[in-house]
Copies of this chain bind each other. A is one copy, B any other.
């Protein structure tokens, strides 16, 4: 009577950390951050709700592994560009592209980094670019952190925004547009003056602009006057 067809036990070794991370990433991509939970993940794997705990010590541990997977994906097949500043820019763009492709996962990983092999390789490439540009150790360390943190935080923030519930996100966008348009010319003259331009700012251009401003200053400081190839 009881057992209304219970699922057959999964064979030993059916669950691997790799499979679990992949499934978690798929779940996050498909259903969003809010819908993600350990029980769901277990069920999606065709396993018990608590099976994942045999491979990860907890939710946090798992999400860290997901974050690592994202960085792997971001830096896969990366090769340095001829000019050092382009290398920096490309690495930043890759981080952003990956985070925007997996917004829920990126939002949940937050400001955590893993020092996995992918990240270390990217860091080495960035630092190499900066040292090749002539910066000394102290300054290279600082500028590496500036560029890397910029890319991670900016992309992470965008991802977090995109992983809001669709209604919330829509309300946010519409609300902003409305608030600008309704700005009182007396108390907020400058917002009023550019009220039509504000909602038209494109996220891609915005990122490129910020990145460009940052890198321009760095290029200038390096003493390079143009796009001299970097060997």
**Chain A residues engaging chain B, CB cutoff 8 angstroms:** 60, 110-113, 115, 120-121, 123-125, 127-128, 131, 137-138, 140-146, 149-150, 152-154, 156-158, 160-161, 164, 168, 172, 175-176, 179, 183, 187-191, 193-194, 196-198, 200-201, 205-206, 209-210, 212-214, 216-218, 220
Contacts and interface: CB of A to CB of B under 8 A. Distances in A.
Contact of A217 (B131, B153, B216): B216
A189 B157 contact: no
A213 B214 contact: yes
Contact of A150 (B128, B160, B210): B210
Counting chain B CB atoms within 10 Å of each CB, which of A111, A143, A158 scores highest? A111
A103 to B, nearest CB: 11
B142 A201 contact: yes
Given A124-B190, A190-B131, A209 B111 contact: no
9 contacts: A111-B157, A111-B160, A120-B191, A124-B188, A128-B189, A146-B209, A153-B156, A214-B217, A216-B217
A81 to B, nearest CB: 16
Q: Which 9 residue pairs of A and B lie closest in terms of their CB atoms, listed nearest first?
A: A153-B157, A141-B197, A213-B217, A115-B179, A127-B190, A128-B190, A137-B194, A124-B188, A111-B161
Nearest to A129: B190
B146 A210 contact: yes
Contact of A194 (B127, B160, B176, B190): B127
A6 to B, nearest CB: 35
A151 B218 CA distance: 19
A100 to B, nearest CB: 13
B121 A188 contact: yes
Counting chain B CB atoms within 10 Å of each CB, which of A113, A127, A200, A205 scores highest? A127
